[in-house]
Amino acid sequence: MGPGAEWLLHQLPEMLGSADDPDAFEPRHRLVAVTRHRRPGLRLTRTGLVLESLIPSVLEQKVTADEAYRAWRLLVRKFGEPAPGPVEGRMHVMPEPRTWALIPSWEWHRAGVDNKRASTILRAVRVAARLEQAMGMEPAQAQARLEVVSGIGPWTSAETVQRSHGAADSVTVGDLHLPRIVGYALAGDRDADDAAMLELLAPYAGQRHRAARLILLSGRTPPRRMPGMPRTDIGKL
């Protein structure tokens, strides 16, 4: 095994949700209670890795999940090192900050990453050590630290600390779909915005992200009345 084996063995329980406290959550809506009963194994995991949680979140900005996953896969496979162990090159380790900083502009383009997202990642890796210090902070303070970097706003910082910190209360704002899903599930409101969503989630203070996750897992979504997010593969341009 590689030099990170000892760290991984130490961190693995939290990556699997050992630090999560699902008993602190009290359902206040029938749909949420039913979903929790059906999904008793839901745990909020904690990677302990800020940059490794941040970069995928930046790649997800304003694109579909499939486009973001594709970009992550292409970049990590091309610029990351093969993972140690009996995987025969099928797994790769995320590149170091310096490697990210040296990726040429055309490789970002080939991966379908526009200049805005690429520039945000480049700014972040330049201060990677400062961002990793956010692991020693509470989620709200960690989000504030991340948002100092231009191009990282509340959506990206929340998505990051949900993964890095296992943050039970860091609800995602600025999302295209989440407010309408929460609004429809809890109040039958197909047109809920961020403000309405936060008002509906207020009874879950301290556990708003967990409540939102359970709502997403319920499968109750409003009928689509708007076109899906368009896919634009800039790598083909």
Decide if domain 50-152 falls under CATH 1.20.1630.10: no
What pLDDT, in 10s, does the model give residues 39-94? 999 999 999 999 999 999 999 999 999 999 999 999 999 999 998 877 777 899 99
What pLDDT, in 10s, does the model give residues 6-50? 999 999 999 999 999 999 999 999 999 999 999 999 999 999 999
Q: In angstroms, rounded to a whole number, what is the distance separating the alpha carbons of residues 68 and 56?
A: 7
The share of the chain scoring above pLDDT 90, in percent, equals: 86
| Structure tokens that stand for 237 in this block | 């341009």
**Whether the predicted pLDDT of 231 surpasses 80:** no
* Closest residue by Cα to residue 200 from 167, 191, 159: 191
Domain range summary for the chain, segments of one domain joined by +: 27-44+168-221, 50-152
* Closest residue by Cα to residue 57 from 162, 140, 127: 162
Burial grade of 96 (CB within 10 A; 0-12, 13-18, 19 or more): middle
| Residue given tokens 């997403």 in the structure block | 216
pLDDT recorded at residue 83: 87
| Structure tokens that stand for 21 in this block | 């406290």
